[in-house]
Amino acid sequence: MQDETWGSVVQNKLQFSFIVALCIAAASAGHAQAQSAAAFTLRDAVAMALDKNPDRKIAQSDVAAARIGSRMARTSLLPNLGFSEGVTRGDDPVYVFGTLLRQQQFGQANFALNNLNRPHPANNFTSRFAGQWVAFDSFRTELEMRKTDLQSRSAQASLSRSDQEIAHHVVASYEGILFAAKYVDVAQHAVDTAKALLDSSKSRVDAGMAVDSDQLVASSNLAERQQERIESEGNLEIAWAQLERAIGAPIPAEQRRLQDLAEKTFDVRPLGDTVSLALQSRQDRESLKQQLAAQKVGVQSAKSGYGPTISTFGSWERDRASIAGSGGNNWTAGAELRVDLLPAAKRQQVAAAKIALERMEAASTSADDEIRLEVTQAWYAHRSASQKLEVARASVAQAEESLRILKDRYESGLATVTELLRVEDAQRQSSANYWQAVFGNTLTYADLQFAMGTLNPANQEDLQ
């Protein structure tokens, strides 16, 4: 009896453990399924591109180089300090006389004429510290520091514009996948419809209500629809490849789950306000603005070359006859004022800086005109796309109603299979045109946001 009770207890514990294990496994499987079922959003794609795209790494390297240039300009404020260790040997009378003096080894015997004229060779081991510092350079260093800071800001603005370009490419590729996937659905629906028509044609031929040519026409129509589906599936794979190129990394198969393409309505400002906002928001224009300011400072820096330069210098030296021996030491310090009395090269440098400034001013003006044109083109393109969407939406409803009416006529024997196929082609083309219009409406809005310089994560949520 005791053994039976113990056995039942063990059995109950095993059953309880088995149930718990099943629950844990089911929860884990459900969690993994939920993760795998999560859609790969547009925000995910853009974030992945900003992390993986090599074009962004190039822009980041430009920013890093500009920052290094800014730090290098500041090094001119620091003194130059160096150390040298040297050894010389010779019997030149002047060299030997000076060496003995520096080593503090000059004695009474060295004044003998024979020693002065024909001295013995002397060794000199020298340890020397020397430094120099530019105390004043007519503010050239300060101007160069300001110039490099402006160039660094320009590079940072270029990086921001590069991020927008990457995001724009990702948006276009992502929306291209949604459209390609929707076109696959349209093509598959056409295949299903063609199969149903072929089955209906066979039944009508068997019932003596249609001739064999109707069945042949339906069979040929099915083959054409299947070819279109195959082509649409290939276009979908190409669209995925384009997105991977825009991101800069392959996308695993388990992440290839996107939300369906859906019609969106976007609020667009008047053209004048849109252009004004673009001139304020475009980061490439901000980059040119910083470059223009840097060129103006560059002209001032070149002109500072006409001014005087005051430098200070100093050195400390130890001289000895052997590397480990004793000897003498000495120091020297001084200051120097330098003025270029014939600054021909500096005049050319100023002239070159002015030419660079004029070129940058022209580039800035040209960029403003280009921005106005790009925004105008994108604005009207989006307006046309939204109008096309309205027309396409109405066309779909009309095509579906026409197809329904003709199907009823065909089933009643009042219409031929050729007429039915013609209306089905019109309905399929109308559906394809509608999704093309939905795609174009979203894409042109993204183009407009990019032209305005306002394409950011918040806008990407609107595009999703």
C-alpha separations of 83 from 132, 156, 327 in Å: 12, 39, 18
So where are the chain's domains? 42-79+139-306+343-463
**What's the mean per-residue pLDDT of the chain?**
86
Q: Are the beta carbons of 122 and 95 closer than 8 angstroms? A: yes
Closest CA to 381 of 236, 274, 247: 274
Instruction: Read off the pLDDT of each residue in 447-456 and give the average, rounded to a whole number.
Output: 92
Q: Distance between CA 421 and CA 190 in Å, rounded?
A: 11
pLDDT above 90 covers what percent of the chain? 56
C-alpha separations of 427 from 6, 75, 145, 277, 404 in Å: 74, 73, 67, 42, 10
pLDDT band for position 210 (cuts 50, 70, 90) = low
pLDDT band for position 13 (cuts 50, 70, 90) = very low
Instruction: Read off the pLDDT of each residue in 184-197 and give the average, rounded to a whole number.
Output: 85
Residue range 122-148, pLDDT digits in tens: 999 999 999 999 999 999 999 999 999
Residue range 331-354, pLDDT digits in tens: 999 999 999 999 999 999 999 999
Closest CA to 150 of 291, 280, 299: 291
Length of the chain: 464
User: Under 8 Å CB-to-CB from 122, ≥6 apart: which residues?
Assistant: 89, 90, 91, 95, 96, 99, 100, 321
Q: Distance between CA 41 and CA 464 in Å, rounded?
A: 7
Range in 18-22, 162-166, 229-233 the model is least confident about:
18-22
CA 161 vs. chain centroid, Å, equals 8
pLDDT band for position 399 (cuts 50, 70, 90) = confident
Instruction: Read off the pLDDT of each residue in 316-329 and give the average, rounded to a whole number.
Output: 89
Tell me which H or E stretch contains 338: strand 327-338
- Looking at residue 38, the DSSP 8-state letter turns out to be S
pLDDT band for position 440 (cuts 50, 70, 90) = very high
CA angle 451-457-461, nearest 5°? Answer: 100
User: In the predicted model, is pLDDT for residue 9 greater than 60?
Assistant: no
- Looking at residue 119, the DSSP 8-state letter turns out to be P
Q: Distance between CA 402 and CA 431 in Å, rounded?
A: 13
- pLDDT for the residue 453: 93
Q: Are the beta carbons of 430 and 399 closer than 8 angstroms? A: yes
C-alpha separations of 464 from 5, 53, 260, 457, 458 in Å: 63, 21, 9, 11, 10
Judged by phi (left if over 0) then psi (alpha if -120 to 50, else beta), residue 453 lies in left
Instruction: Read off the pLDDT of each residue in 375-399 and give the average, rounded to a whole number.
Output: 92
User: Under 8 Å CB-to-CB from 429, ≥6 apart: which residues?
Assistant: none
Question: Which alpha helices (H) appear in 312-454, and where do they start and end?
Answer: 344-411, 417-452
Q: How many CA atoms lie within 13 A of 22 on its CB side?
A: 6
* CATH value of 42-79+139-306+343-463 in 2.60.120.560, 1.20.1600.10, 3.30.2310.20, 1.10.3720.10: 1.20.1600.10
User: In the predicted model, is pLDDT for residue 19 greater than 50?
Assistant: no
- pLDDT for the residue 404: 83
Closest CA to 193 of 39, 43, 459, 410: 410
Q: Distance between CA 364 and CA 237 in Å, rounded?
A: 41
Q: Distance between CA 231 and CA 222 in Å, rounded?
A: 14
- pLDDT for the residue 105: 86
User: In the predicted model, is pLDDT for residue 36 greater than 50?
Assistant: no
Tokens representing residue 431 in the block: 């559906």
* pTM (two decimals): 0.78
* Buried-exposed string 303-312: b where 16+ CB fall within 10 A, e elsewhere: bbbeeebeee
Residue range 266-313, pLDDT digits in tens: 989 999 999 999 999 999 999 999 999 999 999 999 999 999 999 999
- pLDDT for the residue 8: 47
Q: Are the beta carbons of 150 and 73 closer than 8 angstroms? A: no
- pLDDT for the residue 211: 67
